[in-house]
A and B are shown apart, each in its own frame.
Chain A
Amino acid sequence: MEFTDYMATQRQALMRFATVLTCRPWLAEDLVSDVLCRAYERWDRISQVAEPHAYIRRMVLNEYLSWRRRLVRSSPRADLEPVHPRLGDGAEERAERDAMIAQLARLPRQRRAALVLRYYAGLSDAEIATELGCQVTTVRSQISRALATLRIELSPNTLQETK
C-alpha cells in the first residue's frame, strides 16, 4: 500500500480514533499530524506489516500516552461543548451524551485508552494488554474502574461478551 493510498482511505478513521481517545479535536489533530510525519519517513517498513492501520493507530495511542500536557484551561472548555448545539427533541439525550464526553475527558489517560480500545476499537482484553504493555488483569481493572467512574451499568449479556 502506498502512503498516499493509506492517507486517502484511513486518515479520517485515524482522526476519529484520536478524537475519541483525547476528547479534543485540536489535540487529536496535533497527535495525528506528528504520527503521520513519522509514519511517512518509515513507510517502507510500515507498509510491510500485516495491518498498517493498526500499527499507526498504535503509534497514535503511544504518542497520546507518552505526552504530558496539562489540560487545565482557563477559558471555557469549548471543544468539550457541542459544536452545533441543537434545540428541540432529544435535548435530554444530548445533555446526557455531552455529560458523558466531559466525564470521559476527565478519566486518567491509561484508563480512558483501555475503555476506548475495548468499546470503540473493539479490541479484546488480550489485544488491549498488548497495546498498552500491561497484563490482561490490569486491563480489566482499568476498564472496570472507568465504567464505575462513568456510572455505566453493564447488562448481564454485555458482561458475558466482554470476558
Chain B
Amino acid sequence: MTDLRTLADAFAELERRADVAMSTVDPSKSGAWLDSPPVRRRRTWASHGWLTPVAAAAAVVFGVVAAAVALAPGGGSGTQPGTQTSTQANTAATTAPTTQPAPASTPTVPRDSAELATRFQTVLGDTATFTVTDTGPGIVENSTPAGAFLGGVLTASGVSGGYNLWFYPGRVLGECGDCTTSRLDDGSELWVHQMPLDAAPDSLTVAAELYRADGVLIRLFVSNASSPKGGDTVQLAAQPPLTQEQVIAILTSDRW
C-alpha cells in the first residue's frame, strides 16, 4: 500500500513533463514560434499575420462544384438512402499504404475559415457537400492565431456525418499511440487512425493528419456521428460518409 504523497509526487512529475513539453517550443527560448525548429519540421513557414477572427457562422451549405474531381464518390450504405455509382468501393482500410504520392504543390495557409471552405469545396469537387457550423483558427500559439478550422456536417452519396478540418502552419506534436504512419516521397508524414466514439454506440471517426515537409499541417476527421470528437453527438449513419482512402486522397490532393 502507498499513500497520497506518492500520488502528489506523480502529479509533480507530470507537471514537470508538461513544462518540458512546453519548453521545446517556447518562443522566448528560440525566437518566434514559427521559426523554432520542432523535432520533425523541415522548414519554417512564414506567418500570414494575424488572423481576422471569424464570427461563429450560421449553417452555410456549399453546393456541388461542377469541376473534374479526382475522388470517387464515397459513402456507405448508411441509414439514409443515397445514390451510389457502380464504381464505389466502401471499404475503409485499417492501415494506410506505406507509400503515397506526394502533393504536387505547396499550398499557402488559408487566411480564414471562409477561404478554407472555398478550398475544401474545390478539393472535394462533386464528391460531397458540407455545411459549416463551426469556425476558428487552426491553432493559437502564444496568443497568435494561424490557419483555419471548419466543422460541420459532410454529405457524400446521401450519407451524412460530422467533420472537422484544420489547416495551419504545423508541427508534429509527438507520438500518436494509435496511428498508422507513413512517409511520403517529399518527406511529409501521414498519420492515419480510426476511433470509435464513447458518446454514440457504433460510431466511428476516420482521421488523417498530413504533416507536410514544408511546414503545413492539414487534418481531416470524418465521422458517422454528428461530431467527430464525440461529446454531445448523435449517430447519423452506419458508416462515415468518406472512406479512409478518400480522406487520405483529400489531404494529399494538389488542389489545395
B4 contacts which of A26, A75, A119 (Cβ < 8 Å)?
A119
The B interface, classified by DSSP as helix, strand, loop or mixed, is mixed
> Bound state CA distance, A152 and B20, in angstroms?
28
B145 contacts which of A40, A42, A75, A152 (Cβ < 8 Å)?
A40
Residue of A nearest to B15 (CB): A16
CB distance B231 to A66 under 8 Å? yes
CB distance B18 to A28 under 8 Å? yes
Q: Mark B1-43, 1 if CB is under 8 A from A, else 0.
A: 1111011111101111111111000000000000000000000
CB distance A75 to B229 under 8 Å? no
CB distance A19 to B230 under 8 Å? no
> Bound state CA distance, A24 and B130, in angstroms?
34
> Bound state CA distance, A75 and B179, in angstroms?
11
Given A25-B18, A25-B20, A68-B195, verify A101-B177 contact (CB < 8 Å). no
CB distance A96 to B6 under 8 Å? yes
Q: Which residues of B contact A113 (CB under 8 A)?
A: none
CB distance B174 to A26 under 8 Å? yes
Q: Which residues of A contact B143 (CB under 8 A)?
A: 3-4, 7-8
Q: Which residues of B contact A132 (CB under 8 A)?
A: none
The smallest C-beta distance from A25 to any residue of chain B, in angstroms, reads 4
CB distance B3 to A37 under 8 Å? no
Residue of A nearest to B233 (CB): A66
CB distance B177 to A97 under 8 Å? no
CB distance B17 to A19 under 8 Å? yes
The smallest C-beta distance from B180 to any residue of chain A, in angstroms, reads 10
From B100-108, B114-122, B131-139, B152-160, give the one contacting chain A.
B131-139
> Bound state CA distance, A29 and B175, in angstroms?
11
CB distance A120 to B177 under 8 Å? no
Given A19-B17, A26-B173, A26-B175, verify A120-B136 contact (CB < 8 Å). no
> Bound state CA distance, A49 and B139, in angstroms?
23
Q: Which residues of A contact B176 (CB under 8 A)?
A: 26
A101 contacts which of B13, B195, B197 (Cβ < 8 Å)?
B13
Within 8 A of A (CB), among B169-206: 173-178, 193, 195-199, 205
Residue of B nearest to A155 (CB): B3
Q: What residues make up the interface of B, taking CB atoms closer than 8 Å to A?
A: 1-4, 6-11, 13-22, 53-54, 56, 135-140, 142-143, 145, 149, 173-178, 193, 195-199, 205, 229-232
Beyond A23-B14, A96-B9, A116-B11, 18 additional pairs, beta carbon < 8 A: A16-B14, A19-B21, A24-B177, A25-B21, A29-B174, A30-B173, A41-B56, A41-B136, A66-B229, A66-B232, A68-B199, A68-B205, A69-B195, A70-B195, A82-B13, A100-B7, A152-B6, A153-B3
- Going nearest first, the 7 A-B pairs with the smallest beta carbon separation are A26-B174, A66-B231, A19-B18, A25-B21, A4-B143, A100-B10, A41-B136
